[in-house]
A and B are shown apart, each in its own frame.
Chain A
Amino acid sequence: MKGVVLGQYYPGDSLIHSLDPRVKIVSTFVFIISLFVVDNVPGYAVTALFLVSAVALSKVPVARLIKGLSGILVLMVFTAVFNLFLTPGEVVFSFYSLQITREGIIVTVKMLVRLVFLIMGSSLMTYTTTPSALADALESLMKPLKVVKVPVHEISMMISIALRFIPILAEEADIIIKAQKARCADFDTGSVIKRAKAMIPVLVPLFVSAFRRANDLAVAMEARCYRGGDNRTRMRPLTYCARDYRAYAVDAALLLGCILTRVIL
């Protein structure tokens, strides 16, 4: 259980790291929208330029970003296969009843580029922003929803607590596994069903402990007079500074550029 990485944060002090988390969330969204706006080579070049410069500024090793793609490898293969063989058009290659069309190749390349850019863009955000900063930013960005009675603060609090507890529970699971191993438990041999059953002595204590901790935390929060929501101030309030506004300007330029490539070219 050791080495459970969450939010896969890559510590650093680059320009991207120091941006306001809200800017990073908005930028990621703008980037994703741009990806679906563009439809030609200059358009993709614009989004590529944005991604490459963001990665360069963040100083996150490219190898790490590429490694993150392995998670969607299956999805990529499926997308590629379906688009390649099932797009009607001018046949360039046929193989028994399977046909590859010119249009199919173009669509496939476009889809793959979009997918890769999308994943790299969003993982760049999680690499450069701590999970708790993301939760704070989400709260701040969702504030307008309060008008329609969405419990924004509570949702954000739950996300932060959940994120905070994952490493604690991972450590606890490690301790329980060791304790059951000391009682001669065997987690590594036998059929799948046997192994799944062997996890019960770990899962039950883990659940019990999660409830115990939740209860303790609730009491501790009450004891410090916690009450969510209105008029709550923060130790480190999120504030925009000049570089954040510049980043928004870059976002706007990206979106505008992408729309222009679509309209003009």
Chain B
Amino acid sequence: MLELENVSFTYDNGAGVGTRALEGVSFSVEPGEFIGLIGHTGSGKSTLLQLLIGLLKPTEGRILFEGEDIGQKGYDLKKLRSRVGMVFQYPEHQLFEETVFKDVCYGPQNIGLSQKECELRAYEALRSVGLPDECFYVSPFELSGGQKRRVAIAGILAMKPDILVLDEPTAGLDPAGKNEILDLTDELKRDRNISIILVSHCMEDVAEYADRILVMDHGRLKYDESPVVVFSHVEELEKMGLSAPAVTYIMRKLKDRGVDVRNNIITIPEAGAEIMAAFKRRHP
């Protein structure tokens, strides 16, 4: 659905010598996929996200959405941005309207939908992020941090995107708020077949939810594999300033101590089952 072909990007600092932020990145996003995007700070993730919705133009290479080059002249970027929903870091900082409901209507209004359709979509979006009805007509500034963030995400969902990109959506939230957001993304993927691209610094989250993981390092795409394969490269990941989920380290240590377990385990439920199995083998 969304394809990147050999995309490179250089920040122009006016003096002729720019900063190379991306180097020959290629991958594609298929409908209903949950993709995790990881990389240390400054690895080019933010640049990549901005390229996806045409906020930046690739210096080399092209980006295709449904087969059309989004960089070509006259391409309708508004339409692209309504289909590829982008939730930036701390999205609650973009709220501005008098009421939550009006704020969520902003995106649909910008695409030029009728007032009725906008309201319908806003209502639906606010329900899907699980915001209680009594919050719909209060000022967004009166809500709690987690609620504000859900309103901001609803603002993007109201445009009914086919791909939802979230840049560290759980940063600064408490564990409950964090789980709510992650479960919401998983639900959107399952129920509506929306593709999700989740940028996160939390390896456990990515391991649990993603079908596929992209690893960025110094502007290059290092891995584009399933979570199990990516997290088997523990040493390489550590060199890039990343890591594997904590549970993977535990399983590796157990294996080193001679316990008969697999060492390619990346989630806690999996680890629990594997340890139980090993225990039963030992004590039949």
Q: Interface on A for B, CB 8 Å cutoff?
A: 3, 175-176, 178-186, 200-201, 204-205, 208-209
Contacts and interface: CB of A to CB of B under 8 A. Distances in A.
Contact of B96 (A181, A182, A184, A200): A200
B133 to A, nearest CB: 23
Contacts of B36: none
B141 A182 contact: no
B117 to A, nearest CB: 14
B86 A182 contact: yes
Contacts of B93: 175-176, 179, 205, 208-209
A108 to B, nearest CB: 37
A179 B155 CA distance: 11
A201 B155 CA distance: 13
A126 B53 CA distance: 40
B50 interface: yes
B9 interface: no
A183 B106 contact: yes
A204 B102 CA distance: 14
Nearest to A181: B55
Contact of A178 (B50, B78, B95, B110): B50
B81 interface: yes
Contacts of B14: 3
Nearest to B53: A182
A178 B106 contact: no
Nearest to A175: B88
A151 to B, nearest CB: 32
Contacts of B86: 182
A184 B111 contact: yes
A208 B148 CA distance: 14
A205 B92 CA distance: 9
Contacts of B245: none
B60 to A, nearest CB: 21
A183 B105 CA distance: 10
Given A178-B50, A182-B88, A208-B141, 19 more contacts: A175-B88, A178-B88, A179-B88, A179-B93, A181-B55, A181-B81, A182-B53, A182-B81, A182-B86, A183-B81, A183-B106, A183-B107, A183-B110, A184-B107, A186-B78, A200-B96, A201-B96, A205-B95, A205-B96
Contacts of A179: 88, 91, 93-94
Contacts of B156: 182-183
Interface in B57-105: 78, 81-82, 85-88, 91, 93-96
A186 B141 contact: no
Contact of A184 (B50, B87, B141, B159): B159
Which 6 pairs of residues, A with B, have the shortest CB-CB distance? A184-B110, A204-B96, A182-B86, A179-B94, A183-B107, A184-B78
Contacts of B50: 178
Contacts of A182: 53, 55, 81, 85-88, 156
Given A183-B155, A184-B82, A201 B106 contact: yes
A184 B94 CA distance: 13
Contacts of B111: 184
Nearest to B104: A183
B82 to A, nearest CB: 6
A52 B85 CA distance: 57
Contacts of A205: 93-96
A75 to B, nearest CB: 28
B55 A178 contact: yes
A180 B97 CA distance: 12
A209 B86 CA distance: 21
Contacts of B82: 184
